[in-house]
Amino acid sequence: MSTGLPDFFKHNLWANLRLLDACAELSDAQLDATMIGTFGSIRETLMHMFASEEGYAWSFTKIKPSLPLKEFSTFAGFDELRRRAEMSGTALITIAEQEDLSQIFYLDGGTYKCAAVIVAIQAINHGVDHRSQIATMMSLQGIELPALDAWGYNDALAENIGK
């Protein structure tokens, strides 16, 4: 089994989809609760997470959805977030497998220069950070959390191998 950067993005997609499944079961009050030190409510954080992930994928592919999540004025809904997460997550896996990550990007209208690998690292870091914030908000509301860490991912991979 070869391992590398694509595996980080495979875990990222798996964790994002598990988190969406868990959040889809929450009440409006739970989704809209906020906590100091986090991005915003669970609903707002999910929208931000997946809008950003679309942006990271776009940095490489230059393919934007007809209506990017960052342009939504209301919550997109869990079915749409799942669809978007699968699209951007799969794109990031392919990017990690096939792209030249040493290429230089000029972001923010050409004002910010960085290697493509920095965008890849940020995509992973951003997902972990906001999943952790959502997990904290869920935990403080007494909601049981799904395992989103590497151990949970390993267990899921082992379960799928046995099927």
For every residue of 51-89, DSSP letters joined together read: HHHHHHHHHHH----SS-GGG-SS---HHHHHHHHHHHH
Residue 126 marked ligand-binding: yes
Residue 11 marked ligand-binding: no
Show Cβ contacts of residue 13 under 8 Å, excluding neighbours closer than 6 positions.
Answer: 85, 86, 89, 90, 92, 93
Residue 48 marked ligand-binding: yes
Cα–Cα distances in Å, from 134 out to 8, 41, 88?
20, 8, 20
E strands present in the chain? 104-107, 112-115
CA torsion, ordered 65, 80, 8, 153, to nearest 10 deg = -170
Residue 85 to residue 13: CA distance in whole angstroms: 7
Binding residues for a divalent metal cation: 48, 126, 130
Binding residues: 48, 126, 130
